[in-house]
DNA sequence: ACCTGAACACCGTTCAAGT
DNA sequence: ACCTGAACACCGTTCAAGT
């Protein structure tokens, strides 16, 4: 497959950090994380692999960090209703969206779980904590609860992707996810003084 | 570093599947998953990398499956007390052990989350379901609850490894883990007819 | 500034060969 | 049966060179 460098270079959009990360996500979603290589990514962008390093100086590490940020940064909408009393509805909405996002990009789940990109989940966690605080939970309980929620959603998504069902027949994962979420919400409500 | 093949071959223990996986786990725990290569693993076992394939015909895939099984297979002790009423204590004990195991071998967490080795978590999930069933929960609630527990523990362990704390000062992860677990247990108790 | 081409030090895996 | 050595088709990344 031969490309004419000078001519083709005019016809394609300029290489940007964003275009690179989107193309990488497309490869991961379609072929799996194991097939994401700098050379293949270059092919997808109609560019030599080495051109990528000009936009992501830290190379593949920075690329993977970008994928995690693109998928895992998704704060809960605090003021969607404006009423703190709707905290359960807000959390249900966020959890459903977050789960869908993780399942849609299941290939990056192992990266979300790894140490990379420590700041990626921070904004999400902070938004959950704030919702619980506004709902009336003490500071400490709100912080603990935010992690319980995020941990549950990520962990359950991981089990879903694996199709881990311990010899059960057909499993309604959506219903199972919701049932587990309600367990956590029930526990949180029991801590709520209001 | 030169070895005398015939002599050294006599002095070292025979290569077995188990010895290979234990050596691999040592590398992952000490240096990280990224540094686990067949060649380095061979070095650690004082053997050429290619010798490993004789014991693990599916190669590195089989090696990683073995690591997951070694870490993630840890069923809850159902009959530790013999009394179903102690279901909460049994689950607390299991969760604490499982968390410790995952944190001890944090390098394999991304593998646990990946699709590999679908049977690895089955026995663990089944034991949790059985405890909840014996505690008096309906079949469906027991199955959902087992996944909620496993999902929470795995997800929270992943957050702990990342040290994900959204700009908080010092975090007592052990206490936070326990607090989140109690949320789930409270939710489960609310479903219990007894 | 942005991209290329060649090169380097690694990978996992095969395969024929040794004992 | 168990292990080795050489070889193959890949990797990520560097670096000097082009435009």
Residues A131, A46 share a domain: no
Q: What is the pTM of this model?
A: 0.92
Q: B50 CA, D6 C1': separation in Å?
A: 12
Residues B167, B92 share a domain: yes
> What was the pLDDT predicted at B151?
98
Establish if A24 belongs to a structural domain.
Answer: yes
Residues B116, B39 share a domain: no
Residues A181, A154 share a domain: yes
Residues B79, B38 share a domain: no
**Does any strand D atom come closer than 7 Å to the Cβ of A186?**
no
Residues A174, A80 share a domain: yes
Instruction: Give residues with Cβ within 8 angstroms of A57, minimum separation 6.
Output: none
Nearest nucleotide over every DNA/RNA strand to the B6 CA, judged by C1':
C19
> What was the pLDDT predicted at A79?
64
> What was the pLDDT predicted at A11?
63
Instruction: Tell whether the model's pLDDT for residue A76 goes beyond 90.
Output: yes
Q: Which CATH number is B170's domain given? A: 1.10.357.10
Q: Does A109 contact B at CB distance below 8 Å? A: yes
Domain hosting B23: range is 7-56
Report the chain B residue with the minimal C-alpha distance to residue A161: B115
Residues A168, A97 share a domain: yes
Q: Which CATH number is A47's domain given? A: 1.10.10.60
Give tens-digit pLDDT for A91-118.
999 999 999 999 999 999 999 998 778 7
**Does any strand D atom come closer than 7 Å to the Cβ of A61?**
yes
Establish if B141 belongs to a structural domain.
Answer: yes
> What was the pLDDT predicted at A146?
98
Burial bucket for residue B73 (CB in 10 Å: 0-12, 13-18, 19+): middle
Rounded Cα distance, A88 and A94, in Å: 10
Mutate to test the interface with B, among A158, A178, A185 (most CBs of B within 10 A): A158
Establish if A69 belongs to a structural domain.
Answer: no
User: pLDDT truncated to tens, each residue of chain B (194 aa)?
Assistant: 333 344 344 467 889 999 999 999 999 999 999 999 999 999 999 999 999 999 999 999 999 999 999 999 999 987 656 666 799 999 999 999 999 999 999 999 999 998 778 788 999 999 999 999 999 999 999 999 999 999 999 999 999 998 877 778 889 999 999 999 999 999 999 998 77
* Residue in B112, B150, B183 nearest the CB of A188: B183
Residue (of A175, A173, A178) closest to A161 by Cα position: A173
Establish if A61 belongs to a structural domain.
Answer: no
Rounded Cα distance, A110 and A118, in Å: 14
Residue (of A40, A34, A41) closest to A56 by Cα position: A41
Which strand D nucleotides have any atom less than 7 A from protein CB atoms?
A: 2-6, 10-16, 19
Residues A41, A100 share a domain: no
Rounded Cα distance, A100 and B46, in Å: 47
> What was the pLDDT predicted at B25?
98
Nearest nucleotide over every DNA/RNA strand to the A46 CA, judged by C1':
C3
Residues A138, A170 share a domain: yes
Q: Does B148 contact A at CB distance below 8 Å? A: yes
Q: What percentage of chain A has pLDDT greater than the value 70?
A: 91
Distance set, CA B39 to CA A149, B21, B23, B25 (Å): 41, 14, 12, 15
Establish if A44 belongs to a structural domain.
Answer: yes
Residues B172, B140 share a domain: yes
Number of domains in chain A: 2
Instruction: Give the length of chain A.
Output: 194
Nearest nucleotide over every DNA/RNA strand to the B54 CA, judged by C1':
D2
**Helix A122-134 vs helix A139-162: crossing angle, to nearest 10:** 130
Establish if A67 belongs to a structural domain.
Answer: no
Give tens-digit pLDDT for A14-68.
899 999 999 999 999 999 999 999 999 999 999 999 999 999 999 999 999 999 9
Q: Does B72 contact A at CB distance below 8 Å? A: no
Establish if A122 belongs to a structural domain.
Answer: yes
């Amino acid at each position: 497959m031969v490309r004419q460098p000078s001519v083709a270079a005019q016809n394609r959009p300029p290489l940007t950090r964003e275009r690179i990360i989107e193309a990488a996500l497309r490869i991961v979603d379609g072929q799996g994380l194991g097939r994401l290589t700098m050379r293949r990514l270059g092919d997808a962008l109609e560019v030599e692999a080495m051109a990528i390093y000009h936009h992501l100086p830290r190379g593949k590490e920075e690329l993977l960090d970008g994928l995690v940020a693109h998928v895992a940064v998704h704060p809960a909408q605090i003021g969607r209703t404006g009423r703190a009393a709707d905290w359960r509805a807000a959390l249900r909405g966020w959890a459903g969206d977050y789960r869908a996002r993780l399942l849609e990009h299941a290939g990056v789940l192992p990266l979300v779980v790894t140490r990379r990109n420590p700041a990626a989940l921070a904004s999400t966690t902070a938004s959950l904590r704030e919702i619980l605080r506004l709902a009336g939970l003490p500071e400490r309980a709100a912080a603990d609860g935010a992690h319980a929620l995020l941990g549950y959603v990520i962990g359950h998504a991981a089990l879903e992707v694996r199709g881990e069902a311990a010899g059960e027949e057909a499993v309604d994962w959506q219903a199972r996810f919701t049932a587990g979420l309600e367990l956590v919400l029930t526990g949180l409500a029991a801590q709520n003084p209001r």
